[in-house]
């Protein structure tokens, strides 16, 4: 229900971005790069190099953050499409047609064609706010995820990137159609960055939640297109060549149709080998295999703490329509929508729930009262509200809602906020009544 992961943020991964690019080729008119209206001024922040930061940065960049999955030319003849060793950080073309070109920039320390002349805050602004070195709004950079990086991890990443060999690789500027370019120019971006302390790593669960978050697992492994069966429930289209080779992201929730029955050995083996090299290269197992065993175990603990999402997906089998996510994928016809069983609720109190809510990032959610029922409108398109069905005291679910929501009350007994049931629950405070 966060703005960056609902409706307008369908470019959560290069996969989704490619789909949008394919649709954009219908318009052969391109537009010059436009400066974001939300590009914050740069600061003079600098990060001192140290052995710890170099080691930590190397571990993050080559592992859970998979930076070279995009920012390096790939060896497409090898399973997982690993980055070419002497091109790390050199950037590459992400997608190109006769009229649309989109590049992951050269972030190596080369001063002529890369990031050798960038300040530390240029890196920070790109990672945290999605604003490029030239002020443009970045189209495929998962900045909404990297905002969760601690300040120390951010420093380590930048220190390490400055230490890699420079790659001389001059890339052209991007070419997008005017609608896309203007949309990026007007897309809100953060204009201030709050300090991010070191994450809690005192338990496997706490450490795993941090790693799953910065690894952007939710973005790929949640169905955002037609009907959302739940966070981490899988169903995003990864590949479709027009035949039976339809590949969807896997269900990695705690349900038995996800990773609920996996043990540590199975999970680590899958991540290390990409199922013996058979996993689609869009799943960055080629980078995730560099994550330490203890951290992979922590990530599995975090995934198993998620609410279960029943959604069967079997890539490699004949794709069929799935009513749970609305997409076509293997085992799709094995899924049926399970009706939500409501509890008795005094509908007269619904007026106290209705209102507009917003989180810390100004993402707004509208809760409406209509025909003695509660409805919630999320994302940019508020024209298709979802009915909220009471399942416990102050707790509601809805068909196609990514998670249950629990309304909170203040000391006076008035509803003043709600939280969603995500890996990292997000709080929405009521801003006004309806």
State pLDDT tens for residues 350-389: 999 999 999 887 788 999 999 999 999 876 666 789 999 9
On whether both 218 and 192 belong to a single domain, the answer is no
Q: How confident is the model at residue 44 (pLDDT cuts 50, 70, 90)?
A: very high
On whether both 190 and 273 belong to a single domain, the answer is no
Total of domains in the chain: 3
Q: How confident is the model at residue 232 (pLDDT cuts 50, 70, 90)?
A: very high
Residues 180-224: tens digit of each pLDDT: 999 999 999 999 999 999 999 999 999 999 999 999 999 999 998
On whether both 243 and 356 belong to a single domain, the answer is no
On whether both 264 and 401 belong to a single domain, the answer is no
Q: What is the CA radius of gyration of the chain?
A: 22
Query: Which of 132, 165, 198 is where one domain is finished?
Result: 198
Q: How confident is the model at residue 10 (pLDDT cuts 50, 70, 90)?
A: very low
Among 164, 208, 214, smallest CA distance to 60 is for 214
Helix (H, G, I), strand (E, B) or coil at 327: coil
Provide CB contacts within 8 A for 294, sequence distance 6+.
none
On whether both 97 and 246 belong to a single domain, the answer is no
Alpha-carbon distance 388 to 343, whole Å? 12
On whether both 160 and 137 belong to a single domain, the answer is yes
On whether both 178 and 216 belong to a single domain, the answer is no
pTM to 2 decimal places: 0.91
Buried b (16+ CB within 10 A) or exposed e, 41-69: ebeeeebeeeeebeebbbbbbbbbbbbbb
Q: Residue 354 sits in a domain of what CATH number?
A: 2.40.128.50
Provide CB contacts within 8 A for 78, sequence distance 6+.
none
CB atoms within 10 A of CB 330: 20
Helix (H), strand (E) at residue 346: none
Among 14, 425, 22, 401, smallest CA distance to 236 is for 14
On whether both 189 and 210 belong to a single domain, the answer is no
On whether both 210 and 301 belong to a single domain, the answer is yes
Residue 394 belongs to domain spanning: 347-432
On whether both 181 and 234 belong to a single domain, the answer is no
9: pLDDT strictly greater than 70:
no
Alpha-carbon distance 281 to 74, whole Å? 10
Give pLDDT, residue 266: 98
Q: Which residues are bridge partners to 246 per DSSP?
A: 240
Query: Which of 305, 338, 371 is where one domain is finished?
Result: 338
Higher pLDDT, 239 or 132: 132
Alpha-carbon distance 53 to 139, whole Å? 28
């Amino acid at each position: 229900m966060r703005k960056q992961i609902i409706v307008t943020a369908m470019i959560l991964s290069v996969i989704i971005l490619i789909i949008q690019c394919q649709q954009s080729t219908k318009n052969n008119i391109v537009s010059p790069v436009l400066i974001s209206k939300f590009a914050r001024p740069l600061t003079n922040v600098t990060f001192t190099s140290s052995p710890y930061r170099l080691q930590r940065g190397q571990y993050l960049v080559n592992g859970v953050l998979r930076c070279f999955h995009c920012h390096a030319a790939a060896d497409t003849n090898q399973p997982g499409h690993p980055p070419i060793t002497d091109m790390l950080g050199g950037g590459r073309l992400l997608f190109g047609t006769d009229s649309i070109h989109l590049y992951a920039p050269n972030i190596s320390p080369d001063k002529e064609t890369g990031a050798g002349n960038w300040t530390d805050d240029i890196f920070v602004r790109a990672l945290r706010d999605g604003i490029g070195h030239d002020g443009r709004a970045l189209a495929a950079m998962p900045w909404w995820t990297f905002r969760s990086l601690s300040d120390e991890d951010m420093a380590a990443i930048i220190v390490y990137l400055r230490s890699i060999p420079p790659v001389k690789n001059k890339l052209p500027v991007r070419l997008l159609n005017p609608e896309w370019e203007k949309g990026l120019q007007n897309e809100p971006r953060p204009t201030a960055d709050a300090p991010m302390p070191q994450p809690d790593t005192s338990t496997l669960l706490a450490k795993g939640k941090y790693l799953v978050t910065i690894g952007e697992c939710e973005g790929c492994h949640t169905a955002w297109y037609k009907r959302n069966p739940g966070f981490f429930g899988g169903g995003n289209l990864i590949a479709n060549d027009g035949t039976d080779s339809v590949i969807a992201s896997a269900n990695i929730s705690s349900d038995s149709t996800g990773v609920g029955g996996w043990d540590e050995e199975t999970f680590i083996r899958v991540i290390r080998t990409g199922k013996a090299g058979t996993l689609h290269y869009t799943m960055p197992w080629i980078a995730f295999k560099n994550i330490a065993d203890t951290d992979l175990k922590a990530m599995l603990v975090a995934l198993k703490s998620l609410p279960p999402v029943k959604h069967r997906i079997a890539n490699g089998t004949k794709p069929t329509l799935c009513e749970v996510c609305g997409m076509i994928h293997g085992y799709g016809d094995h899924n049926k929508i399970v009706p939500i069983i409501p509890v008795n609720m005094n509908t007269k109190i619904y007026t106290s729930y209705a209102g507009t809510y917003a989180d810390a990032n100004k993402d707004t959610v509208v809760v409406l009262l209509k025909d003695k029922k509660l409805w919630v409108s999320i994302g940019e398109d508020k024209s298709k509200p979802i009915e909220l069905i009471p399942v416990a005291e102050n707790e509601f679910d809805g068909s196609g809602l990514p998670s249950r929501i629990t309304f909170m009350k203040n000391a006076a007994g008035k509803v003043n906020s709600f939280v969603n049931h995500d890996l990292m629950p997000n709080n929405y405070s009521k801003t006004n009544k309806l």
